[in-house]
A and B are shown apart, each in its own frame.
Chain A
Amino acid sequence: MDTIIASLPYLVQGLKVTLYIFFFSIIIGFLIGLVVALIRLTPFKILNWIAKAFVDIIRGTPFIVQLFFIYFGVNSLEFISLDRTVAGILTVSLNAGAYFSEIIRTGIQSIDKGQAEASRSLGLSQAYTMRAVILPQAFRRMLPTITNQSIISFKDTSLLSIIGIADIVQKGKVQASATFQPFEIWLTVGVIYFVIIYLMSLLSSFVERRFELR
């Protein structure tokens, strides 16, 4: 117990980094997902193909390979230099973005065509119809899957310790070898992850309930 209490300040330091990276990644990832989904719903062939290729590539390769490709691969090119945090956020964002785009695309497509027709028949533009009529309804339907992907992405950030980001896992490694008590340390790290993910689920069901009722 003393070990845990003594290690907590370090672990919390790492947790801050984890949360910081997750926060930016999930926002950027969601925006990427939205843009890619909207592109895939347009009739422009080339853009469509690029968007689909992006999703296929991300889905078809492991996260760790994407991370190494961006941090070691892209960074080895002479004209570019990403620090670890940027590379980490970029990888998680792109990865989450690809999955979000599929969630958003299928969510939008699940809304009855009559909704768009009714809105367009009033003289509202396609863009406004999307924003005011389709997306609010689609978002409600997507919420459980969005939560799910967010949790997966949150856990993916733990792999960033491999490129030397000082997240909670990295701090855990240091503490485990410094204290010689890996059982206590990794248990604590696990509990911290669990509590945060549990809070995310609670938040999600709360939002879901607020929106439902109609």
Chain B
Amino acid sequence: MTLIQVRNLKKSFGELEVLKDINVEINEREVVCVIGPSGSGKSTFLRCLNRLEDISGGHVVIDGQDITDTKLDINKIRENVGMVFQQFNLFPHMTALQNIMLAPMKLRKSDKGEIEKKALELLRKVGLSDKAHVYPGELSGGQKQRVAIARALAMDPSIMLFDEPTSALDPEVVGDVLGVMKQLALEGMTMVVVTHEMGFAREVGDRVIFMDGGYIVEENVPEELFGNPQEVRTQSFLSKVL
């Protein structure tokens, strides 16, 4: 089943056209990795999927609902689309547990005990049970990002978006975060991952999209895209990063 459908997506910042004509479909349970040089529009593309960026043209359909329709309650859609950021963006004035519980406490009907139990469960899942009552300032980068993943999962989303989740991390903790993401993928989460981790894209991705200059230049299963790239631009990019 198609969960994300993007048709003729365009995005401009003033004069600068960052996304020129993006067309892509992503199925349920699929893990799609988006790679490309910086400035290629991959992060902007991801941010259009939950309308963190206003969409300039075209359509983005999430689970059957066109989010470019301004009459639509975007907050309802966002509950269903978790997002993880490069800079974590944890709320520094709340403990790890409070970070995770903030959205469900406001948006879910369930009682506090139930939400807390679920939040602790999520912390256990990302391997940080012992950090429930710790503030973000006392966590390492890798721990922060794992809390951020738990927070994004708190509303039980059916789609998870990752915007370069390991780019701000020290090399030795990248593996912890990728491990959590891999686990999620194995559980069948639909994921769109903008990343520079080619190893992760190759191992976990069902499909890899290569973007450059505001277009999707090439997309394929990882073995093909990495092993036998068709486009010159893909070849040139891969020769630099692999």
Partner-B contacts on A (CB < 8 A): 112, 114-115, 117-125, 128, 132-133, 136-137, 140, 214
Chain B min CB distance to A4 (Å): 47
The answer on a CB contact under 8 Å between A120 and B92 is no
Which residue in chain A gives the minimum CB-CB distance to B102?
Answer: A132
Q: How far is the CA of A118 from the CA of B163 in the complex (A)?
A: 12
A114/B137 contact (C-beta < 8 A), A121-B52, A122-B78, A123-B78 known = no
Chain B, residues 109-146, CB within 8 Å of chain A (1/0): the string is 00000000000000000000000000101000000000
Chain A min CB distance to B214 (Å): 22
- 9 A–B contacts, CB within 8 A, in A order: A112-B89, A115-B91, A121-B83, A122-B107, A122-B152, A123-B79, A133-B102, A140-B93, A214-B93
Q: How far is the CA of A123 from the CA of B90 in the complex (A)?
A: 15
10 shortest interchain CB distances as A-B pairs: A123-B79, A118-B89, A122-B103, A114-B89, A121-B83, A123-B78, A214-B135, A123-B75, A136-B93, A114-B87
Q: How far is the CA of A133 from the CA of B107 in the complex (A)?
A: 15
The answer on a CB contact under 8 Å between A128 and B92 is no
Q: How large is the interface on B (under 10, 10 to 19, 20 to 34, 35 or more residues)?
A: 20 to 34
The answer on a CB contact under 8 Å between A117 and B93 is no
User: Chain B residues near A121 (CB, 8 Å)?
Assistant: 50, 52, 78, 81-83, 152
The winner among A112, A114, A118 for most chain B CB atoms within 10 A is: A118
Partner of B102, one of A124, A125, A214: A124
The answer on a CB contact under 8 Å between A137 and B50 is no
A115/B106 contact (C-beta < 8 A), A122-B152, A123-B76, A123-B79 known = no
Can you add 9 more A-B contacts, CB < 8 Å, to A114-B85, A123-B79?
Answer: A118-B148, A120-B52, A121-B52, A121-B78, A122-B103, A122-B154, A132-B102, A133-B102, A137-B91
The winner among B80, B85, B103, B148 for most chain A CB atoms within 10 A is: B103
The answer on a CB contact under 8 Å between A123 and B52 is no
Q: Is the interface of A mostly helix, strand, loop or mixed?
A: helix
Chain B min CB distance to A55 (Å): 28
User: Chain A residues near B148 (CB, 8 Å)?
Assistant: 118
B151 in the interface, Cβ–Cβ < 8 Å? yes
Which residue in chain B gives the minimum CB-CB distance to A140?
Answer: B93
Chain A min CB distance to B15 (Å): 20
User: Chain A residues near B103 (CB, 8 Å)?
Assistant: 122-124
The answer on a CB contact under 8 Å between B106 and A133 is no
B155 in the interface, Cβ–Cβ < 8 Å? yes
User: Chain A residues near B50 (CB, 8 Å)?
Assistant: 121
Partner of B89, one of A117, A124, A128, A140: A117
The answer on a CB contact under 8 Å between A117 and B91 is no
Q: How far is the CA of A124 from the CA of B107 in the complex (A)?
A: 8
Q: How far is the CA of A71 from the CA of B51 in the complex (A)?
A: 51
The answer on a CB contact under 8 Å between B93 and A120 is no
Partner of B92, one of A117, A119, A122, A137: A137
Which residue in chain A gives the minimum CB-CB distance to B80?
Answer: A123
User: Chain B residues near A136 (CB, 8 Å)?
Assistant: 93
Q: How far is the CA of A26 from the CA of B77 in the complex (A)?
A: 41
